[in-house]
Amino acid sequence: MLPCRMPRPDPLASVRALVRRDRFAARQGIRLVELREGYARATMRLGPDHLNGVGTAQGGAIFTLADLAFAACCNSHGTVAVALDVAITFARAAVTGRLTAEAREIARSRRVSVCDVRVTDAAGALVASFKGTAFRKDERTEELARTTRRGRRG
């Protein structure tokens, strides 16, 4: 008889759960499509509701896409991380199609995570560059996911 092997728990499951509960990002149609330690990729298909008065993607929509990728990336080590400082530079207008935000952690210490996020259009052209610094708390993402499920938070 072969020994029964339990499936290994997904260490990023709690981060995925927290991202799924981001109702604002969900309303924008943002999806987290890839997550690993120190990296996250999210996408959003631009629609009429994402456009500003001059007919291009509203800066807040692009920022929200970049911010979700940043949040997933800096929380990917299982420690709750919250933004301290972020900056975005809009490089070109986007009007239609799918935008992709790729976040890469470029520095991490016990208390700080620094991430670069590139937002590109379907052709791979840079739409925006986002840099974020997060404070890493003592709380674990697993605990936050559990307490949120029980209704103590959010």
Q: Is residue 4 part of a domain?
A: no
Q: Is residue 94 part of a domain?
A: yes
Q: Tell me how far apart the alpha carbons of residues 14 and 141 are, in angstroms, rounded to a whole number.
A: 6
Q: Range of 28's domain?
A: 13-149
136 within 8 A of 81, measured Cβ to Cβ = yes
Q: Is residue 73 part of a domain?
A: yes
Q: Is residue 154 part of a domain?
A: no
Q: pLDDT by residue (tens digit) across 54-85?
A: 999 999 999 999 999 999 999 999 999 999 99
- The confidence band for 7, taking pLDDT boundaries of 50, 70 and 90, is low
pLDDT at 147: 78
Residue with tokens 């975005």: 88
- The confidence band for 152, taking pLDDT boundaries of 50, 70 and 90, is very low
92: Cβ–Cβ under 8 A, 6 or more apart, which residues? Answer: 121, 125, 126, 127
Strands (E), 94-143: 97-108, 112-120, 126-140
CB atoms within 10 A of CB 88: 17
Q: Is residue 6 part of a domain?
A: no
Q: Is residue 92 part of a domain?
A: yes
- CATH number for the domain spanning 131: value is 3.10.129.10
Between 13-20 and 59-74, two packed helices, what is the crossing angle to 10 degrees?
Answer: 160
Average pLDDT over residues 39-61: 97
Q: Inform me whether the pLDDT recorded for 137 exceeds 90.
A: yes
pLDDT at 87: 98
pLDDT at 43: 98
pLDDT at 59: 97
Q: pLDDT by residue (tens digit) across 76-130?
A: 999 999 999 999 999 999 999 999 999 999 999 999 999 999 999 999 999 999 9
Q: Tell me how far apart the alpha carbons of residues 28 and 19 are, in angstroms, rounded to a whole number.
A: 13
Q: Which residue has the higher pLDDT, 8 or 136?
A: 136
Q: Is residue 2 part of a domain?
A: no
Domain count, the chain: 1
Q: Inform me whether the pLDDT recorded for 149 exceeds 90.
A: no
Q: Inform me whether the pLDDT recorded for 11 exceeds 80.
A: no
Q: Inform me whether the pLDDT recorded for 141 exceeds 70.
A: yes
